[in-house]
Amino acid sequence: MTLVGFLAALGGALRDAAATSAPAPTAPPSQLTVCRFWEPSLRASSGAPRALIAALERLGPSLSWTQNPNYRRRPPDATFLDNYGYAVIAGPTDGPPALAAAPRLALGVLLLGPHAHYPLHAHPAVEIYYTLTSGGEWWRDEGPWRQEPPGSVIHHAPNVRHATRAGTSALLAIYLWRGELATHAKLTTAGETAG
Ligand SMILES: [Fe+2]
């Protein structure tokens, strides 16, 4: 199944569950300041498959947004936490709240506000991003920065350092983690060069 098909199926299953016998949630979904960019980002995702955006629109009200505790303790800059967040669509039950349990993968969305800079970081999980918005720039290993249009697939091998920065509009991307899911990303000390 393709990523688009998976998300469309997941969105449909959640809609069906909500319409039938789904129990009332014990707590409302968590929101973050960066969520103000969720709907504008979906509207700006014109280059991404329509079925995928429709699935995310359905999932949106149910998403619980969270932030890496390493960044909450030591934010990389003063505005970062107001312009960064992620929400898990499917993932392990002992991780951040997920809409569906998945013990061996983590799938979700990353949202960055306009001009947000998510600096170099690394983690042992394998990571794939699927970009939904335009204007974002991505850095891997030794760089340089490169623009990736909507619909790009970006691969990060385990422990490779990588960074992302949004352009003049917010950046929305789907991420998929496989492998070592329990270890959060950590910022790395070496910075990117200007560019
Ligand atoms: Fe990453």
| Domain count within the chain | 1
Distance 185 CA to ligand 1 centre (A): 7
Share of the chain above pLDDT 70, in %: 84
**Residue 27 falls within a domain, yes or no?**
no
Distance 79 CA to ligand 1 centre (A): 20
**Residue 20 falls within a domain, yes or no?**
no
Radius of gyration of the chain (CA): 16
Distance 17 CA to ligand 1 centre (A): 31
Distance 161 CA to ligand 1 centre (A): 8
CATH number of the domain at 72, please: 2.60.120.10
**Residue 143 falls within a domain, yes or no?**
yes
Share of the chain above pLDDT 90, in %: 78
**Residue 22 falls within a domain, yes or no?**
no
Tokens 């990117």 belong to residue: 192
Distance 172 CA to ligand 1 centre (A): 14
Helix (H, G, I), strand (E, B) or coil at 127: strand
Which residues are placed with Cβ below 5 angstroms of ligand 1, an ion?
A: 127
Distance 73 CA to ligand 1 centre (A): 18
- Between 8 and 71, residue with greater pLDDT: 71
How many other C-beta atoms can be found within 10 angstroms of the C-beta atom of residue 147? 12
Comparing CA positions, the residue from 47, 83, 72 lying closest to residue 164 is 83
CA 194 to centroid of chain Cα atoms: 25
Distance 23 CA to ligand 1 centre (A): 33
Q: Identify the pLDDT of residue 19.
A: 53
Do the beta carbons of residue 69 and residue 109 sit within 8 Å?
no
Q: Residue 191 — very low, low, confident or very high, per pLDDT cuts 50/70/90? A: low
**Residue 183 falls within a domain, yes or no?**
no
Q: Identify the pLDDT of residue 5.
A: 63
Q: Identify the pLDDT of residue 26.
A: 64
Do the beta carbons of residue 67 and residue 108 sit within 8 Å?
no
- Dump pLDDT digits (tens) for 16-58: 544 554 444 567 789 999 999 999 999 999 778 899 999 999 9
- The stretch 79-88 carries a mean pLDDT of 98
Q: Identify the pLDDT of residue 21.
A: 45
Tell me which residue range forms the domain holding 119. Answer: 3-15+32-173
What's the pTM value of the predicted model, to 2 decimals?
A: 0.89
pLDDT at residue 11 is higher than 90: no
Q: Residue 194 — very low, low, confident or very high, per pLDDT cuts 50/70/90? A: low
Distance 108 CA to ligand 1 centre (A): 12
Distance 11 CA to ligand 1 centre (A): 24
pLDDT at residue 65 is higher than 80: yes
pLDDT at residue 153 is higher than 90: yes
Distance 178 CA to ligand 1 centre (A): 11
Distance 162 CA to ligand 1 centre (A): 7
Distance 46 CA to ligand 1 centre (A): 24
Give the integer Cα–Cα distance in Å for 27 and 22: 14
Q: Identify the pLDDT of residue 17.
A: 47
Distance 70 CA to ligand 1 centre (A): 13
Distance 16 CA to ligand 1 centre (A): 32
**Residue 158 falls within a domain, yes or no?**
yes
